[in-house]
Amino acid sequence: MKFGPLAPKDALGATAVHSIRQGGLVLKKGTVIGDKEIAALEAAGVNEIVVARIEAGDVSEDQAAAEIAAAAGGEGTRTDRAFTGRCNLFAQASGILVVDKDAVDRLNRIDEAVTIATLAAYKPVVEGEMIATVKIIPFAVSGAARDRAVAEAIKARPVIRIAPYTVRKIGIVSTLLPGLAPKVIEKTLKVTAARIAPSGASIVAERRVPHQQDALARAIEDVRKEGAELVIVFGASAIADRRDVIPMAIEAAGGDIEHFGMPVDPGNLMLIGRVHGQAVIGAPGCARSPKENGFDWVLMRLLAGLPVTRDDITGMGVGGLLMEIVTRPQPRTEPSPEKGRQIAAVVLAAGRSTRMGAVNKMLAEIGGKPLVRIATEQALASRARPVIVVTGHEHDKVEQALQGLDVRFVHNAAYADGLAGSVKTGIGAVPPESDGAIVCLGDMPQVDSALIDRLIASFDPERGALIVVPSIDGRRGNPVVWSRRFFNDLMAISGDIGARHLIGQYAEAMTEVQVSGDAALTDVDTPESFSAVKAEIERA
């Protein structure tokens, strides 16, 4: 291919290498120069244009890209029409992307003009998803380079393919120990069902048995007899050794252990075995989370009928340090008081009380005390420390109402913009030694210190309880305990909706505390609700 500057009249049939904008002329890169283009260039006063001209033995960029892509694509792939030297490959169905990395490397080393890029190998893909692209760098490539690339792709065929999902029936066995709440198992089943749904698989059999070898071995056989093609065991206790309960149960069921452990974090403590030819996974604890972890890497391959060997697993270390899941304990340099649960209280008292009319509800009195003082005194009577009060509307009057109390005031100057600003102001004032904060509402006078202490007592990072919410007959209320791990998320909220959406986003880290009565659900927004709450408190 010839490449260089020419006068417009000498560029007939060549391809413009660069876009040209001069006067009223716009000539795009890649335009083939014809008589019309020559006239326009000369009229615009362009005396020289850089062009590429195909010579004998060259192949155009689009033709070369299309031919190499066609040779590289295998089962479950399709190629798009080549354009500007690029030919993209797409998945024709959902499945797992299988890539011959060595073949791709060889293709990319044939000639600097020829490149091929793919998504990560073994990535789950859906129909229509772009999975690879062949790009010819210059406007043409030598026929010899094209021929070598096509021959290499054919030799290695398929370089790229989609392994369709073939395993549809999943059996789940959960082992039980004292202290493992039934809701943990229910959440695990829900997360697992959502995880396997894109593959078309579903849970067809489920068992819950004591964390004992014989009971687990029988349960594995039971779910297999019910049609499970793959069995996942969620242990009440993590697998610590090949001689632990789960691996020994697999062997007792007539199976073998293929590999224990993996260089992927989270996901280290995963085990793969087989019972009568069917895969059995001893799931790591992180598999209870919907966030990506090592369990996904193995599960999705097995659902596509792909073998997962010891070499496959031990080769996952590069790139195996995944984003940390929020329920994983973090080391501390020094333990905080009360078993690492030093919780601050943030009392929100900045709102304008627009639904109360002319009255600032924070200052409305019950039993001779303003609502905000009642809520703040209960926070002070709890184990939460320090107590931080966020002010805004009529901040001087709110501070006066709390005179004499051992609290820290922080002012939200943007209180009119909504609740989120007050949450961020309060969280931003929590001292660094605090492990979390309980966010209380200044207009909930029936929330007492006992409820606050119950919620704080349920905060347990080591057991994954990082968000604690009171629940009454399935309805979630306030106040809510938030681990410091979510402070960045809380500082990013906006508007007047608070942080409720984060609870759904991090459901695996949320613990509900069942409470009686309506205190955690009842706030004061209107004169009618104030009158009702006042009457109820004064009757008590």
Say if residue 536 is exposed, middle or buried (CB neighbours under 10 Å; 0-12, 13-18, 19+). Answer: middle
Provide, rounded to the nearest whole percent, the portion of the chain with pLDDT above 90.
70
User: Residues 405, 377: contact at Cβ < 8 Å?
Assistant: yes
Q: What size, in residues, is the chain?
A: 540
At 333 the pLDDT is 41
Angle formed at CA 523 by CA 521 and CA 529, multiple of 5 degrees: 115
User: Residues 422, 361: contact at Cβ < 8 Å?
Assistant: no
Q: What is the mean pLDDT of the chain?
A: 91
Element containing residue 52 per DSSP (H, E): strand 49-53
At 146 the pLDDT is 97
Average pLDDT over residues 205-226: 97
Q: Which residues contact 36 (CB under 8 A, 6 or more apart)?
A: none
Element containing residue 477 per DSSP (H, E): none
Query: What pLDDT band is residue 338 in, cutting at 50, 70 and 90?
Result: very low
Instruction: Indicate the CATH number of 169-314 among 3.40.980.10, 3.60.15.10, 3.90.79.10, 1.10.3210.10.
Output: 3.40.980.10
Average pLDDT over residues 461-490: 90
Residue 254, sorted as left (phi over 0), alpha (psi -120 to 50) or beta, turns out to be left
Q: For 86-131, what is each residue's pLDDT tens digit?
A: 999 999 999 999 999 999 999 999 999 999 999 999 999 999 999 9
User: Residues 257, 242: contact at Cβ < 8 Å?
Assistant: yes
CA distance 145 to 138: 13
User: Residues 152, 110: contact at Cβ < 8 Å?
Assistant: yes
At 330 the pLDDT is 53
User: Who wins on pLDDT, 418 or 297?
Assistant: 297
At 327 the pLDDT is 57
At 335 the pLDDT is 42
At 336 the pLDDT is 44
User: Residues 422, 495: contact at Cβ < 8 Å?
Assistant: no
Omega prior to 479 cis, within 30 of 0: yes
Residue 110 CB coordination number (10 Å):
22
How would you label 293-328 residue by residue, b for 16+ Cβ within 10 Å and e otherwise?
bbbbbbbbbbbbebebeeebbeebeeebebeebbbb
Q: Which CATH architecture has domain 337-535?
A: Alpha-Beta Complex (3.90)
Average pLDDT over residues 206-216: 97
Amino acid at 429: A
User: Residues 430, 388: contact at Cβ < 8 Å?
Assistant: yes
Coil, strand or helix: which one is 538? helix
Q: Per-residue pLDDT for 142 more than 70? A: yes
CA distance 276 to 264: 27
CA terminus-to-terminus distance, the chain: 93
CA distance 371 to 5: 81
At 75 the pLDDT is 97
At 297 the pLDDT is 96
Q: Per-residue pLDDT for 523 more than 50? A: yes
In the chain, where the domains are located:
12-53, 58-164, 169-314, 337-535
Coil, strand or helix: which one is 184? helix
- Of the candidates 13, 3, 4, the residue with the CA atom closest to the CA atom of residue 38: 13
Coil, strand or helix: which one is 133? strand
Q: In what order do the strands lie in the sheet with 114-118?
A: 77-79, 86-91, 130-136, 114-118
Class of domain 58-164: alpha beta
- Of the candidates 451, 494, 503, the residue with the CA atom closest to the CA atom of residue 476: 503
Q: Per-residue pLDDT for 328 more than 70? A: no
CA distances from 284 to 206, 235, 341, 381 (A): 18, 8, 26, 41
Q: For 380-436, what is each residue's pLDDT tens digit?
A: 999 999 999 999 999 999 999 999 999 999 999 999 888 999 999 999 999 999 999
Q: Per-residue pLDDT for 325 more than 80? A: no
Angle formed at CA 405 by CA 401 and CA 408, multiple of 5 degrees: 95
